[in-house]
């Protein structure tokens, strides 16, 4: 009996502690959960963010990075989603954040998260092998049938390939590989014709003159490729980036959201972020606060949902 009274008292204290979060939040180290293995795209971002937060003392406690790879991101997303109201856990996101629940592969839906901020967008560059004789979208249109590499059927490059085929009225044959590296290898060897490459992965090949860029999927031209047009400029509707941001579990105290939103703004404005991430990976600098991010989530989710219905027909 005494035990249960004690438990009730403890629970009451717990409730009290959550509501009084603003006073000295954060009191403990915060863990940033990464859905990729070390060395992967999201991991590089997570470690850069943690470095800026810790070195710049943007939080009174440390930010720790923990990798939870597997299940196509589902393991990490579920881990975060299950910690409802826990203000000491947050996670990075990638395309899988939107796609995994749509595919029925992850019980954690996009609504199970509290969006915090998006701090960069990674564009895709449509590239061809340098000796292929293709230089413009019109050249592609003239080909009628093209083989285009992707990294799986429900990835951004695959979605972009379908959009391109529909817009130009050509037949695209999507050839799936196990990673961007394998796609680029096949493109260099002339086994496929096109690739929507992540800017950070194909830039070295472009600089070396092995691949030629046709157009970029970002809203504006890239600083590193000022001569390469955007799809929008060419009269196309294609515009897509891999949005880089962080989310927290649902039921988050407003103070915690405001705190991390502000920290992420400082991260996105820091020199380290600009030089070590944005410039190095040819990303597009941008900042969405929690409200804007929350507004965009259903839009982006719908984009993938529409795509999935077209390919599942």
Partner 1 sequence: MEIFSDLFFGLSVATSSPMLLATLLGVLLGLAIGVLPAMGPPAALAILLPIVVSFEPTVAVAGLAGVYYGAMYGGAVTSILLGIPGESAAMMTTLDGYPMAKNGEAGRALGIATFASFVGGFISILLFTAIAAPFAEFALRFGPIEMTALMVMTLIFSTSLGGEDRAKGFAALGLGLWLGTVGLDIVSGSPRFNFGTFELLEGIEFTVIAIGMYGVGEILASVNETAPKVARARYTLRALLPRISDMYKTWKDLIVGSVIGFVVGVLPGAGATAATIFSYSFSKKISRHPENFGKGAPEGIASPESANNSASYAAMIPLFTLGIPGSGTTAIMLGGLLMLGLQPGPLLFEQNPDFIWPVIGTFYTGNLMLVVLTILLTPILASLVFIPAAYLFPIVLGIVVYGVFSVNYSFFDLGMAMGFGLLGYLFRKFSYPSVPVLLGLVLGPILEQNVRRSLIMSNGDIGIFASSTISVVFLLLSASLLLLPMFKWAKARLKKAGV
Interaction site with partner 1 (CB under 8 A): 37-40, 43-44, 47, 65, 67, 69-72, 74-75, 78, 103, 105-106, 147, 152-154, 173-179, 181-182, 184-186, 188-192, 200, 203-205, 207-208, 210, 276, 280-281
75 vs 300 by CB, closer to partner 1: 75
Residue 80: count other Cβ atoms within 10 Å of its Cβ. 28
Question: How far apart are CB 308 and partner 1 at their closest, in Å?
Answer: 9
Partners of 150 in the β-ladder = 176
Residue entry with tokens 């589902």: 74
130 vs 300 by CB, closer to partner 1: 130
Residue entry with tokens 């891999």: 242
Question: How far apart are CB 173 and partner 1 at their closest, in Å?
Answer: 5
Question: How far apart are CB 214 and partner 1 at their closest, in Å?
Answer: 19
CA 263, distance to chain mean position in Å, is 19
69 vs 219 by CB, closer to partner 1: 69
Closest CA to 246 of 236, 233, 260: 260
18 vs 309 by CB, closer to partner 1: 309
Question: How far apart are CB 198 and partner 1 at their closest, in Å?
Answer: 12
25 vs 277 by CB, closer to partner 1: 277
Contact indicator for 148, 195 with CB cutoff of 8 Å: yes
DSSP codes of every residue in 226-278: TTSPBTTTTT-----EEEEEEEEESS--HHHHHHHHHHHHHHHHSHHIIIIII
Question: How far apart are CB 97 and partner 1 at their closest, in Å?
Answer: 14
Partners of 33 in the β-ladder = 66, 91
In terms of DSSP bridges, do strands 241-249 and 113-129 run parallel, antiparallel, or are they unpaired? Answer: antiparallel
Closest CA to 274 of 239, 223, 227, 204: 223
- For the chain, the residue count is 313
Question: How far apart are CB 208 and partner 1 at their closest, in Å?
Answer: 4
> CA angle at residue 44 from 164 to 185, to 5 degrees?
45
Question: How far apart are CB 5 and partner 1 at their closest, in Å?
Answer: 35
205 vs 268 by CB, closer to partner 1: 205
82 vs 236 by CB, closer to partner 1: 82
């Amino acid at each position: 009996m005494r035990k249960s009274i004690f438990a009730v008292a403890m629970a009451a204290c717990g409730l009290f502690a959550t509501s009084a979060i603003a006073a000295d939040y954060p009191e403990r180290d915060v863990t940033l959960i990464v859905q990729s293995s070390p060395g992967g795209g999201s991991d590089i971002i997570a470690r850069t963010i943690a470095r800026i937060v810790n070195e710049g003392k943007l939080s009174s406690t440390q930010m720790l990075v923990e990798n939870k790879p597997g299940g196509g991101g589902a393991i990490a997303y579920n881990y975060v989603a299950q910690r409802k109201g826990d203000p000491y856990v947050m996670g990075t996101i990638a395309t899988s954040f939107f796609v995994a629940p749509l595919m029925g592969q992850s019980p954690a839906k996009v609504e199970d998260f509290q969006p915090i901020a998006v701090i960069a967008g990674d564009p895709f560059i449509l590239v061809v092998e340098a000796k292929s004789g293709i230089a413009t979208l019109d050249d592609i249109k003239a080909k009628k049938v093209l083989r285009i590499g992707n990294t799986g059927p429900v990835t951004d490059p695959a979605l972009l390939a379908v959009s391109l085929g529909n817009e130009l009225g050509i037949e695209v044959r999507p050839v799936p590989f196990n990673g961007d590296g394998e796609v680029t290898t096949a493109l260099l060897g002339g086994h496929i014709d096109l690739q929507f490459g992540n800017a950070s992965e194909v830039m070295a090949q472009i600089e070396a003159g092995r691949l030629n860029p046709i157009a970029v999927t970002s809203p504006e031209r890239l600083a590193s490729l000022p001569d390469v047009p955007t799809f929008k400029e060419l009269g196309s509707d294609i515009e897509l980036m891999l949005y880089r941001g962080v989310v927290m579990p649902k039921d988050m105290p407003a103070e915690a959201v405001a705190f991390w939103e502000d920290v992420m703004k400082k991260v996105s404005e820091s020199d380290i972020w600009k030089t070590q991430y944005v410039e190095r990976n040819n990303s597009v600098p941008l900042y969405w606060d929690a409200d804007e991010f929350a507004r965009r989530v259903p839009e982006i989710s719908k984009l993938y949902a529409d795509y999935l219905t077209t390919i599942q027909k």
